[in-house]
């Protein structure tokens, strides 16, 4: 069974940093593209960052470009999101999801809440 | 403002049929990219409901169906049940500069 478990969320002050992790199990992690998607309180879904199975190709949404860094450790079956220079508008539940080649997300984690506030 | 447009809410009585529309443009749905649908129950992460316009993953009841035409897509739910009350999101891919993976704003389904 595919399982994705996010961790690392919490309360952080504006301008601060946080590193999210996503532990994957139940599938060959290195064979899949992965993505971070976030959902602000009471709002819809927004993709944040995507990377290829090897980690060699990366995309960022304009809203986080230059501040967030996505990475993966295929030996540890883990996906990461390093978030720097956090802003109030980054407050959201962050989900990691597995991406299929047809560009949809077939498995999602339960999410981790990031709150940026002073 | 979301790239794909969905109605904020729809409602229906148990047993009825409801549809949720998803309208895009020539750079996403109209460009031939597939539409996918997700169901999000209160307090949980999204769950894949329909992929590639019309396909149901294993375990999704056949009461849920999807269609696509031109720059729009639709999700239909027949035989409404109380447990269908959730938020529903459409998703596609966009070839514009600021695009890539795009979502609708979500539709809240209320079962009366």
Strands B86-94 and B100-103: antiparallel
What digits encode the pLDDT tens for the residues A2-57? 999 999 999 999 999 999 999 999 999 999 999 999 999 999 999 999 999 999 99
Q: What pLDDT is recorded for position A74?
A: 96
**Given an 8 Å threshold on Cβ–Cβ distance, is B47 in contact with A103?**
no
Q: Two tokens at B86? A: 């959730």
CB B3 within 8 A of CB B24: yes
The nearest alpha carbon in chain A to B58 belongs to A106
A/B interface, count of CB pairs below 8 Å: 60
Return all residues near B49 (Cβ < 8 A) that are at least 6 apart: B37, B38, B39, B56, B57, B60, B64, B75, B88
56-85 in chain B: CB under 8 A from chain A: 57
pLDDT in the model for residue B98: 65
**B89–A contact, CB cutoff 8 A:** yes
Higher pLDDT, B100 or A67: A67
Q: What is the pLDDT of residue B104?
A: 97
Q: How far is CA A75 from CA A4, A26, A30, A45, B6, in A?
A: 16, 14, 8, 29, 40
Alpha helices in chain A (DSSP H): none
**In chain B, what residues touch A35 (CB-CB under 8 Å)?**
101
Average pLDDT, chain A: 96
- Split at pLDDT 50, 70, 90, the class of A103 is confident
Mean pLDDT to the nearest integer, B23-31: 94
- At residue B82, φ and ψ (nearest 5 deg) are -55, -35
Residue from the list B45, B98, B100 with its beta carbon closest to the beta carbon of A95: B45
Task: Give B49-98 pLDDT, tens digit per residue.
Answer: 999 999 999 999 999 999 999 999 999 999 999 999 999 999 999 988 76
- Tell whether A2 lies on the interface with B, counting CB pairs under 8 A: no
Q: What is the mean pLDDT of residues B22-28?
A: 95
Average pLDDT score, chain B: 95
Q: State residue A48 phi and psi, 5-degree precision.
A: -110, -50
Spatial CA neighbour of B6 closest among B76, B92, B105: B105
**Is residue B99 scored above 80 in pLDDT?**
no
């Amino acid at each position: 069974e595919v399982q994705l478990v996010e961790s690392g969320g919490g309360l952080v002050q504006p301008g601060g940093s946080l590193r999210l992790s996503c532990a994957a199990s139940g599938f060959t992690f290195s064979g899949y593209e992965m993505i971070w998607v976030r959902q602000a309180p009471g709002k819809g879904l927004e993709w944040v960052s995507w990377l290829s199975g090897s980690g060699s190709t990366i995309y960022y949404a304009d809203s986080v470009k230059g501040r967030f860094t996505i990475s993966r450790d295929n030996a540890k079956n883990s996906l990461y999101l390093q978030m720097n220079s956090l802003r109030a508008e980054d407050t959201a539940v962050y989900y990691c999801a597995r991406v299929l080649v047809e560009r949809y997300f077939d498995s999602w984690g339960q999410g981790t809440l990031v709150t940026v506030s002073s | 403002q979301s790239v794909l447009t969905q109605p904020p809410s729809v409602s229906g009585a148990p047993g009825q049929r409801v549809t949720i529309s998803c309208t895009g443009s020539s750079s996403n749905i109209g460009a031939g990219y597939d539409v996918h649908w997700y169901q999000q129950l209160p307090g949980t992460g999204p769950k894949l409901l329909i992929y590639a316009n019309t396909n149901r993953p294993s375990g999704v009841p056949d009461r849920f169906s999807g269609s696509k035409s031109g720059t729009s897509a639709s999700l239909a739910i027949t035989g409404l049940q109380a447990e269908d009350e959730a938020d529903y999101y459409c998703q596609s891919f966009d070839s514009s500069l600021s695009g890539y993976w795009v979502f609708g704003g979500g539709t809240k389904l209320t079962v009366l």
